[in-house]
């Protein structure tokens, strides 16, 4: 496991290039091994060791005040009926306007090696962090939304301390799918489209403390020379 | 508040054309209209929905029909300048570290930093502009070396 103290200074290239502290010797992945692999959604619990090592250690909270949690409220916000209500009103919901989570702060010297590791799997792509959250135990959630304001590939790496206590739920093609988190790291990739008649509605529920980091992936680079 | 957008002069005679950058003036109410340049059009607080923060304000243009739009070529140049500015900061850090590593005779680190600098030098040439056709896509250009 990497030393979390290494990441306390917010920006310093010494840390970024501190190879001694990097999880050297762990092979980088050149592709993920998806357990679920559909055109709109992919997921796996087979996370490359190097990525897990880079994600390890502690992450400081940006929002230090713990939000009030209610499991009933979280379950309701992520229910099928909640989405049916939104859809019946014909509402567009690019971003979730109901949520219960805490933001984590990400120092560049921690983010950079993670992005570089991911760039081996996604060559020629810009990778931008879209959010780093801790869903609090007992009823963390992010309500239904589509993200269709930012059409791109989305990648979410989440960590759950227990099996089947938190989930990523989505609705697409007239079907609801609940993708329960397994204990440890879970990786999901999905496609966000714009102006789509069938956008990928999704939400997140957590009865346990759930860490989640998301990336926007856009293929807009030429190969490295 | 009332918000107005107007073309800035970009011609020797003080006139302006479609390629002119714009200015924006906000007034509390109509009693301040004397501060609004002639020909300005009233707009909302965020006249360009895809650029709510105004990060690409210098690329905003005003059509003859009073429509506010973004000149994507100018926006690309703004993005490149943002990346160059970020890169300058990264270079300064790397230079300092390379100097320290050199002084400590840590040649492997010196070389590693040199590789990093080389990546940064070429970073703006890595952008595949053929894939970038909207302001939103311009916003999401961020080579991993720059993160």
* C-beta separation of A205 from A169 below 8 A: yes
Pairing outcome for strands B68-70 and B60-62: antiparallel
Alpha helices in A17-174 (DSSP H): 49-55, 71-77, 80-88, 108-121
Q: Touching check for A89 and chain B: CB below 8 Å?
A: no
Choose among A12, A112, A222: nearest Cβ to B147.
Answer: A112
Q: Do B122 and A218 touch (CB under 8 A)?
A: no
pLDDT of residue A15: 32
Looking at B47, B70, B93, which one is the last position of a domain? B70
Q: Touching check for B141 and chain A: CB below 8 Å?
A: yes
pLDDT lower than 50: segments of chain B? none
Choose among A17, A115, A221: nearest Cβ to B147.
Answer: A115
Cα distance between residue A219 and residue A127, in whole Å = 9
pLDDT of residue A24: 53
Is the pLDDT reported for residue A32 higher than 70?
yes
- Band of pLDDT at residue A194, cut at 50, 70 and 90: confident
Q: Touching check for A130 and chain B: CB below 8 Å?
A: no
Q: Is the same domain home to B55 and B116? A: no
Q: Is the same domain home to B85 and B22? A: no
Pick among B93, B119, B121, B143 to test the A interface (most A CBs inside 10 A): B143
Q: What is the pLDDT of residues A52-61, one digit of tens each?
A: 999 988 888 9
Cα distance between residue A199 and residue A170, in whole Å = 10
Q: Is the same domain home to B63 and B81? A: no
Cα distance between residue A114 and residue A12, in whole Å = 16
Q: What is the pLDDT of residues B36-54, one digit of tens each?
A: 999 899 999 999 988 999 9
Q: Is the same domain home to B49 and B66? A: yes
* 3-class DSSP state of A5: helix
pLDDT of residue B21: 96
State residue A112 phi and psi, 5-degree precision.
Answer: -55, -50
- Closest-CA distance, B20 to chain A, in angstroms, reads 29
* 3-class DSSP state of A103: strand
Nearest one of A123, A108, A92, A125 to A201, comparing CA atoms: A92
Is the pLDDT reported for residue A11 higher than 50?
no
Q: What is the pLDDT of residues A95-152, one digit of tens each?
A: 898 999 999 988 888 999 999 999 999 999 999 999 999 999 999 999 999 998 888 9
* C-beta separation of A41 from A188 below 8 A: yes
Q: Is the same domain home to B78 and B130? A: yes
State residue A129 phi and psi, 5-degree precision.
Answer: -65, 135
Q: Touching check for A75 and chain B: CB below 8 Å?
A: no
Q: Quote the percentage of chain A above a pLDDT of 90.
A: 65
Q: Is the same domain home to B90 and B49? A: no
The CB density around residue B50, as the number of other CB atoms within 10 Å, is 15
Q: Is the same domain home to B53 and B92? A: no
pLDDT of residue A25: 60
Looking at B70, B85, B118, which one is the last position of a domain? B70
- Closest-CA distance, B142 to chain A, in angstroms, reads 5
Residues of B in contact with A54 (CB under 8 A): none
Residue with more model confidence, A62 or A140: A140
pLDDT of residue A13: 31
What's chain B's length in residues? 147
Contacts of B91 (CB under 8 A, 6+ apart): B117, B120
Q: Do A17 and B109 touch (CB under 8 A)?
A: yes
* C-beta separation of B113 from A17 below 8 A: yes
* C-beta separation of A67 from A135 below 8 A: no
Q: Touching check for B110 and chain A: CB below 8 Å?
A: no
Q: Touching check for A27 and chain B: CB below 8 Å?
A: no
- Closest-CA distance, A75 to chain B, in angstroms, reads 33
Q: Is the same domain home to B82 and B116? A: yes
Q: Is the same domain home to B64 and B80? A: no
- Band of pLDDT at residue A92, cut at 50, 70 and 90: confident
Structural domain including B133 reads: 72-146
Residues of A in contact with B107 (CB under 8 A): none
Q: Is the same domain home to B19 and B40? A: yes
Cα distance between residue B42 and residue B36, in whole Å = 10
* 3-class DSSP state of B28: coil
Residue A159: half-sphere exposure toward Cβ, Cα within 13 Å: 16
Q: Is the same domain home to B107 and B124? A: yes
Looking at B20, B37, B70, which one is the last position of a domain? B70
Q: Over range A10-31, report the average pLDDT.
A: 48
Interface size between A and B, measured as CB pairs under 8 A = 67
- Closest-CA distance, A219 to chain B, in angstroms, reads 7
Q: Touching check for A111 and chain B: CB below 8 Å?
A: yes
Number of domains in chain B: 2
* Angle (deg, nearest 10), helices B72-103 and B107-121: 170
Q: Is the same domain home to B39 and B91? A: no
Q: Quote the percentage of chain A above a pLDDT of 70.
A: 88
ipTM more than 0.95?
A: no
């Amino acid at each position: 496991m990497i030393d979390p103290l290494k990441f306390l200074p917010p920006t310093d290239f010494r840390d970024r290039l501190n190879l001694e502290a990097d999880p050297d010797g762990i092979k980088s992945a050149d592709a993920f091994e998806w357990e679920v692999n559909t055109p709109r959604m992919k997921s796996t619990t087979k996370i490359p060791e190097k990525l897990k090592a880079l994600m390890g250690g502690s992450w400081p909270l940006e929002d230090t005040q713990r939000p009030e949690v209610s499991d009933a409220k979280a379950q309701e916000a992520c229910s099928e009926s909640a989405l049916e209500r939104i859809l019946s009103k014909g509402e567009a919901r690019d971003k979730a306007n109901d949520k219960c989570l805490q933001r984590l702060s990400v120092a560049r010297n921690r983010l950079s090696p993670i992005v570089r590791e991911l760039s081996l799997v996604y060559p020629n792509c810009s990778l931008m962090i879209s959010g780093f959250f801790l869903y609090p135990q007992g009823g963390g959630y992010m309500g239904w939304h589509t993200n269709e304001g930012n059409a791109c590939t989305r990648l979410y790496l989440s960590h759950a301390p227990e099996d089947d206590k938190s989930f990523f739920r989505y609705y697409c093609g007239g079907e609801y799918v609940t993708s329960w988190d397994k204990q440890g790291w879970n990786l999901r990739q999905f496609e966000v489209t714009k102006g789509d008649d069938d956008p990928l509605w999704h939400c997140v529920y957590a009865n346990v403390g759930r860490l989640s980091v998301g990336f926007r992936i856009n293929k807009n680079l030429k190969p490295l020379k | 508040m009332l918000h107005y957008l107007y073309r800035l002069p970009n011609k020797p005679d003080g006139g302006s054309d479609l390629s002119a950058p714009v200015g924006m003036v906000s007034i509390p109410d109509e009693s301040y209209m004397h501060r609004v340049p002639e020909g300005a059009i009233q707009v909302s607080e965020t006249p360009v929905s895809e650029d709510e923060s105004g990060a690409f304000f210098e690329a905003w243009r005003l059509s003859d029909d009073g429509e506010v739009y973004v000149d994507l070529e100018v926006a690309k140049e703004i993005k490149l300048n943002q990346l160059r500015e970020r890169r300058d900061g990264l270079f300064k850090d790397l230079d300092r570290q390379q100097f320290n590593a050199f002084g400590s005779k840590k040649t492997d680190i010196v070389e590693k930093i040199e590789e990093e600098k080389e990546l940064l030098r070429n970073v703006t040439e890595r952008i595949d502009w053929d894939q970038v056709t909207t302001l939103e896509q311009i916003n999401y250009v961020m080579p991993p070396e720059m993160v």
